[in-house]
Every structure is written in C-alpha cells, then in structure tokens.
C-alpha cells in the first residue's frame, strides 16, 4: 500500500476518492491511476539526479496511455520507445521528438524512416546488421542518424529470466567484446553520427550492485573509445529499478542515484535513464468485481470479471500482485481463495491463496498494476479491453473508454 492508495475508515481510496465510486461509475474491469503518484515518482527521480545534466526517458512500453505520456511530457520527460507505434503515441501526446531514444532489436526500415523524419534524439542500435540498415535508410533520406550502441555487459540482473536482458544468452544488444570494433565501423559510416552508449540489463531489479557493475563496464569501454578518437556525448544507463509488489525491498531512487553518481564521478557525459515500472507501477490498480464464489473439492475460488487478458503478468511470470477489497467488511467470514478470471485457461489467475472476507458482487483492487497491465492486455476470448481512469485532485477522468465487442471485429471481413 502507498500513501496514494489507502483505507479511509472501511473504504480503499485513491487520493481520497473511494475506489468503489469509480467502479460504480465506470464499471469493471477498470484501471485507475493516481496523478499525484505519477507526478511524485517522476519528481523524485529528477531530484535524485539534479546535480548532473540528465534526461529521464520514460519507458513507454510500461504504460503507453496518452494521458500518462502527456503528464510526463509536461513534467519535462523524454521517452524510450521500442516501436514506430510508440513514437507516434509520444508525438500524439505532446512529447518532444528530440527527447526520444529508440531501442529494440528489430527496427524496420519504415520505423527508422519515421524516426529520422521526426528527428529523434538517438537510435539505440543493437546489432551490426541494424547499423548498416540505418546507414542506408538515413542516406536515402539525405540525413545523418545519431546513434548509441546498446552494449550487452554480461551482467546478471538477478531478476526473472524473462525480463533479464544483459546476459550473453539474451537477444539484446551488442556483445561487449565486439562493441569497440562496431563503434569504429559506425564512426566511419557516412550517414551515422556516434553520440553515446546505451546499456539496459533488465527489469524489476531490487539491488544496486548490478547497475553499478554495468556502469563500470560502460565507462571502461567509453575510455577505450576515447583512445580511438570517438568521444561520447551521453551515457544511457537504461532503467529497470524495481518496485515492491509483495515483500521486495528495492533501493530507493536516492540510493540508486547515489551509487551510480559515485561510479560516474569525474565524468562529463550527459546521463540518460529509461525508467518505466518505477514511475508507474505503484501508481495504478486494476478494479475487478467478484462474479461468483465457488467451493471446489480442494480449493475455494473467487471468480472475478478481470482475466489474464486484462492483466497478463501473473500468467506470464507467475507474478504477485496484492489484492484488496475496496470496501472492507466484517459481516462475512474470512477464507482462502484462488482469485481467477473467466477465461478458458488454467493459467487464468490473478492471485493464489489469498485471504479475503468477501461476497459475490464485491469489488477488489489488484494493486501495483500501473506497469505492464493495460500495455500487455489483449482481446483473448473476444473480451473488450478495460477502461482507464486518471484521478487528479480528487476528480476522476476517463482517459480510455472501454472497448466494445463491435469495435473488436470492425476491421474483419467475411469471404
């Protein structure tokens, strides 16, 4: 629980607004975000690095809602994108193209063209083949592409294997031992301008030491490049700082900054960071209504109207999200429930073995759902995606209407 989501008497509130009121007004499933929490998280990050020239590039993939992108843009953020679609979202939300870094292992020529024409800040190049393609595309447009190489430092992020990105076996980035030669190649290409170095080792990290180890390897390589006459303008140290879902104890942003700034002492390069989850994860919840309580032979089930298509993380990563009733009650007995959705998959669960005092019709809040919730949702089982609501100063604003079934098949044709 955070200060932005707390019980007032028996009602769970977001910024003093009862979540049950939002559920009644907009229905469920529904994602609800705190404007105050989003703002505070960004400002905490900016404050921690104020002693150095820096740019905070919010990782759009964590939550690409236009309202959230617009909020961060107004706070001064840049953006880390991984697709041409995300670039178009950033621009539609009022983000500045010259604050955009473009990551991702499989950029298409069309995406490169789109980003070059928008004049983004930097391409984070992840392979020799991509470098050659980018040079060709830039040349065809009569432009010069600013680039960093995403260097894979082979540092163990100590996180879930699906979200670890900095090991030799991962698909991301350029091998550390090959990066110097590829930088030389990049510097020789006519439509490429080397501007920096990028490193991102994974997501949901709960220790500082992997970040420091990766930074030290980046700095060593930057010094080698200087010997080659390649002077970097910026160092992009990626993102990945974790949040508390259950009992994790991730470092504070201040602790994270202190450790990195110590490792970077004496350096003059501009710093770029790509936080995603840390800015939005604990700023959002997913509201869902209990349709039925079912007693099975071995377990009791709370069957809710949210499902794996609404929140994929539990099914995909066996991820834990706290689950709270939005109205606490003392008139029913507490029991242990499997909180599951209506999708026809055994993997369709929101939480295992949760102790809840609830009845059918009650609304639950799935906590810490602001990151990789709505952004990973789907229409599996022809289920319309949820509505999204942003609460600002006690007032709820609908920022995404609930999809309709008709909209799901509007572009389909019968032969």
Q: Could you report the per-residue pLDDT of 214-248, keeping only the tens digit for each?
A: 999 999 999 999 999 999 999 999 999 999 999 89
Query: What topology is assigned to 5-33+281-408 in CATH?
Result: Lyase, Ornithine Decarboxylase; Chain A, domain 1 (2.40.37)
**Where does the pLDDT of residue 157 fall: very low under 50, low under 70, confident under 90, or very high at 90 and above?**
low
Instruction: Name the residue with higher pLDDT: 207 or 386.
Output: 386
Any idea what the Cα angle at residue 42 is, between residues 107 and 27, rounded to 5°? 85
Q: Are 113 and 92 in contact (CB under 8 A)?
A: no
Domain spans of the chain, in order of start: 5-33+281-408, 35-277
Encode burial over 68-107: b for 16+ CB neighbours within 10 A, e otherwise. bbbbbbeeebbbbbbbbebbebbbebebbbebbbbbbbeb
Could you give the percent of the chain with pLDDT greater than 90? 89
| pLDDT beyond 70 at 159 | no
pTM: 0.94
Segment 317-328, tens digit of pLDDT: 899 999 999 999
387: nearest Cα among 24, 31, 18, 19: 31
27: nearest Cα among 354, 408, 404: 404
| pLDDT beyond 80 at 51 | yes
Of the candidates 13, 57, 199, 344, the residue annotated as catalytic is: 344
Q: Six-digit token pair at 151?
A: 């260097």
User: d(Cα 123, Cα 107) in Å, to the nearest integer?
Assistant: 10
| pLDDT beyond 50 at 146 | yes
185: nearest Cα among 139, 130, 238, 247: 130
pLDDT at residue number 171: 61
User: d(Cα 194, Cα 188) in Å, to the nearest integer?
Assistant: 10
Q: Residue 349 class from Cβ within 10 Å (0-12 exposed, 13-18 middle, 19+ buried)?
A: buried
35-277 architecture in CATH? Alpha-Beta Barrel (3.20)
Q: Do domains 5-33+281-408 and 35-277 have the same CATH topology?
A: no
344 carries an active-site annotation: yes
pLDDT at residue number 104: 93
pLDDT at residue number 163: 40
336 in helix, strand or coil?
strand
- State how far the alpha carbon of 329 is from the alpha carbons of 12, 20, 161, 324, in Å: 12, 13, 39, 11
Fill in the DSSP letter of residue 264: T
Segment 366-397, tens digit of pLDDT: 999 999 999 999 999 999 999 999 999 999 99
User: d(Cα 47, Cα 44) in Å, to the nearest integer?
Assistant: 5
**Where does the pLDDT of residue 154 fall: very low under 50, low under 70, confident under 90, or very high at 90 and above?**
confident
């Amino acid at each position: 629980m955070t200060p932005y989501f707390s019980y007032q008497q028996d009602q769970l509130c977001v910024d003093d607004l009862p979540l049950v009121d939002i559920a009644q007004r907009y229905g469920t499933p529904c994602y609800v975000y705190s404007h105050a929490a989003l703002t505070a998280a960004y400002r905490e990050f900016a404050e921690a690095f104020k002693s150095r020239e820096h740019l905070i590039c919010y990782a759009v993939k964590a939550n690409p809602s236009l309202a959230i992108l617009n909020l961060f843009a107004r706070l001064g953020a840049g953006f880390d994108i991984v697709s041409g679609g995300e670039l178009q979202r950033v621009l539609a939300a009022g983000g500045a193209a010259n604050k955009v870094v473009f990551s991702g292992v499989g950029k298409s020529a069309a995406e490169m063209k789109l980003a070059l024409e928008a004049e983004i800040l930097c391409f984070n190049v992840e392979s020799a083949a991509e470098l050659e393609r980018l040079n060709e595309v830039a040349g065809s447009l009569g432009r010069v592409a600013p680039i960093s190489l995403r260097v894979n430092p082979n540092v163990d992020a100590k996180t879930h294997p699906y979200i670890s990105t900095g090991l030799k076996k991962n698909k991301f980035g350029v091998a550390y031992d090959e990066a110097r030669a590829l930088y030389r190649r990049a510097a020789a290409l006519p439509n490429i301008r080397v501007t920096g170095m990028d490193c991102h080792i994974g997501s949901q990290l709960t220790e500082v030491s992997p970040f420091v180890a990766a930074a030290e390897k980046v700095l060593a390589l930057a010094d080698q490049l200087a010997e080659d006459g390649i002077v970097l303008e910026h160092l992009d140290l990626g993102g990945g700082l974790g949040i508390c879902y259950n009992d994790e104890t991730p470092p504070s942003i201040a602790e994270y900054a202190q450790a990195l700034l110590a490792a970077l002492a004496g350096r003059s390069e501009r710093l770029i960071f790509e936080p995603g989850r840390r800015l939005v994860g604990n700023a959002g919840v997913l509201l869902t209504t209990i349709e039925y309580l079912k007693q099975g032979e071995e377990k009791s089930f709370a069957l809710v109207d949210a499902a794996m298509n609404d929140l994929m993380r539990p099914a995909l990563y066996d991820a834990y999200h706290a689950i709270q009733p939005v109205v606490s009650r003392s008139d029913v007995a507490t029991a242990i429930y499997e909180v599951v959705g209506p999708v026809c998959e055994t993997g369709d669960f929101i939480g295992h073995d949760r102790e809840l005092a609830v009845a059918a019709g009650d609304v639950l809040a799935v906590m810490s759902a602001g990151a990789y919730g709505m952004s990973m949702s789907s229409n599996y089982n022809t289920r319309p995606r949820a509505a999204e609501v942003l609460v600002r100063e006690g007032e709820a604003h609908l920022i995404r209407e609930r999809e309709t079934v008709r909209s799901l098949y509007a572009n389909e044709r019968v032969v």
